Structure 1
Amino acid sequence: MCPTPPLRLRLRRRGVRIAVWSLVTALVVAAGLTGMVLWQNSYDMDEQRVSIRHGGHTLNGVLTTPRDGRKQHGLVVYVHGDGPVDATHDDGYKPMWEANAQAGYASLSWDKPGVAGAPGDWLDQSMDDRADEAAAAIAWARARPDIDGERIGLWGASQAGWVMPKVAAKTPVSFVIAVSPAINWLQQGRYNLLAELRADGASAERTEAEIARSDTIRRLLRRHATFEEYVGAMGGDADGMTAERWGFISKNYTADATRDLRALRGIPVLLTLADHDINVDITDTERVYRRVLDAGGDLTVGRYPDATHSLLKQSIEQSDLRLTFTALFSPRSLFADGFLDDQRQFLEEAT
């Protein structure tokens, strides 16, 4: 008979077993969570990188297509909002692309110039430049045998509201999905300023000072002031403004969609608005869209009471922790209830 191991040795062995099983448990949990993240961030569509020639340079794009076995599909062309946006919008577009695929539509998007290694600089662009870019992408798509050239439309958010009507004036489109678009650049800026001040609980004195600063900037823009003049007028404090951004604003601050919207008459338009939008005055946007399009167009307005400007649920967007965890474990749940289904249904009925 073997002698019984000393107590210290038995405790040490027990401690090793506990440590091993704890490690195994942790690895199993980690593997399960990783698998869940991968599963939730896998989408029912095929995705490929594409290159589109435009203006002597290349647009680096992503084309997604449904897995339905059809040889041709309609196409949703994505027009970005403001900022340095890549083709997938950091994967934020993918739940929408999946919804498009469920409706039988492919989706096309591209890196903004200067983003993710793409040539050029998006801050050099006017709204007309952006419209030319989108029109070139549509021409490229129409030449593909897997795209139905009679069923190509636009999806665009925020700043894209100034771009998409210009695209429709350059080339035929079958539909437009306008998400949180503004009408007038300067009016939007003032609305956003006041909304943010209210949200911050700003004092009357601070509000008055910010309005005066905004009025100064408007005067500088009207007289085509340089960036150096802007910095001087701000007392030497650029407050995050760069020369490139100032140039972009100077190019585009007169943007107003009112007249251009007439190019959308006669085609289906889905106007998507969020009740918690502090960037865009949705009441003004809806009023202008109805005035211009109701008489000679096919306008559908969708409003989402729990949504922010980005059409994310307000409760999620307000919490960085919830935003991160939802993006990882349930990305389709980021969006306002009904948002993805409504766009899918609109595509099914539009053409």
Structure 2
Amino acid sequence: MEGVELRDVTFVNGSVRLAGSLVVPQRAGSACPGVVLVGGSGPTDRDNGTFFPPLRRHLVDAGIAVLSYDKRGVGESSGDWRAATLTDLATDAVAALGFLRSQPEVRSGTVGLFGHSEGGWVVLRAATAREDMPWVITNSCPGTSPAVQERYALARHLREIRMDSQCDIDRTLDLYDGLIEAGRRDADFATAVQLVEDAGRPPGLAFYWGDVDDRLWGFLKRKQDHDPTGDLLGLRCPHLAFFGSEDRLVPVADSLRVFGASVCHAARPRRATLTVEVLPGADHRLQLPNATEPAPGYLDKLTRWIRRN
């Protein structure tokens, strides 16, 4: 970003040291608003692969300071995300929020949270922990539990790879359901592996199971039945939710129903408005097919909404 300094920073959440990147627009005479970017599932770093850099550039050009960070146990951050819960990750996001708000160039009361995919669950939980949250943005965040979302993604994947028969698809999904039930019983990893072996490692399961090890199995068990409804009802600030109509990982229609029902619930504070943007043809990262940049209009909608709030 020409003329703008990207600074490496560190901050702490208890015993965890988190490392990230901070960019502050060059504005004369006034403090600027800010946003913390929280990445998705797995070992996501401060760039969330290639997703955050164009987002960061656009936000900074619009006069908004941006902080993103390596998830605990990734890059230069200490700790281990696989040993954490979504609540632990939410406290990391709250620590990042506090750090960005403490910067002299930033107007503290205007700093909000942006979470992509799993990061959406994280920032919703973080937002409910703060009375002074001005706004929160979720990007491709499921309104369902992780178990339901993963089953949707696996079923869609199995259909797209054109497996030999519906029987093979059903067999793979039955095994997935068995693994979820094993997780609910707090079965150890060896038991889960035995379930997979006994089922003959049905085709297509690697989409879900390919990189699961003992530590990741523990994380998946803790996360699988997380219900975002409680956090949606607990919001006390405006919420912007982005979805791509062609998201292969998230049940968009089901998520919209949950988000809509939550905002109409009598328990949700009136200030917690909901704005939904579904981008036609866009995928999980809000990109069109074969594109490397966000879908047209996405970034402008994002910055306009932040300015309004």
Give me the TM-score of the superposition, normalised by structure 1: 0.79
1:247-326 equivalence runs, <5 A: 247-265=218-236, 267-294=237-264, 296=270, 297-316=272-291, 326=292
The CA distance in 2 between the partners of 1:247 and 1:349, in whole Å, is: 41
Point out where structure 1 has 5 or more consecutive residues left out of the alignment: 1-41, 317-325, 327-333
- CA RMSD for the aligned pairs? 1.8
Are 2:17 and 2:79, in contact at CA under 8 Å, matched by a contact in 1? no
* Deviations, residues 31-87 of structure 1 (Å, cap 9, x unaligned): xxxxxxxxxxx4564311111022123110111111232441111011111011111
Pick one of 149, 158, 161 that aligns with 1:197: 158
Pick one of 120, 128, 142 that aligns with 1:182: 142
What secondary structure sits across from 2:278 in the alignment?
strand
CA separation of 1:179 and 1:44: change in aligned 2, threshold 3 A:
farther
CA separation of 1:99 and 1:44: change in aligned 2, threshold 3 A:
farther
Pick one of 243, 253, 268 that aligns with 2:214: 243
Does 2:96 correspond to 1:137?
yes
The aligned residue for residue 20 of structure 1 is none
Counting matched residue pairs gives 292
1:1-351 equivalence runs, <5 A: 42=1, 45-171=4-130, 172-183=132-143, 184-202=145-163, 203-235=165-197, 239-265=210-236, 267-294=237-264, 296=270, 297-316=272-291, 326=292, 334-350=293-309
The CA distance in 1 between the partners of 2:211 and 2:115, in whole Å, is: 26
* Deviations, residues 247-288 of structure 1 (Å, cap 9, x unaligned): 1101111111011112224x2211101011111011111111
Are 1:62 and 1:110, in contact at CA under 8 Å, matched by a contact in 2? yes
The CA distance in 2 between the partners of 1:57 and 1:259, in whole Å, is: 27
What secondary structure sits across from 1:85 in the alignment?
coil
CA separation of 1:121 and 1:70: change in aligned 2, threshold 3 A:
farther
Are 1:100 and 1:344, in contact at CA under 8 Å, matched by a contact in 2? yes
* Deviations, residues 289-332 of structure 1 (Å, cap 9, x unaligned): 1111256332111111121111121233xxxxxxxxx5xxxxxx
The CA distance in 2 between the partners of 1:109 and 1:68, in whole Å, is: 20
Point out where structure 2 has 5 or more consecutive residues left out of the alignment: 202-208
What secondary structure sits across from 1:315 in the alignment?
coil
The CA distance in 2 between the partners of 1:222 and 1:157, in whole Å, is: 26
Higher helix share: 1
Give me the TM-score of the superposition, normalised by structure 2: 0.89
Letter in 2 for 1:227: F
The CA distance in 2 between the partners of 1:255 and 1:70, in whole Å, is: 44
The CA distance in 1 between the partners of 2:276 and 2:228, in whole Å, is: 17
CA separation of 1:339 and 1:74: change in aligned 2, threshold 3 A:
same
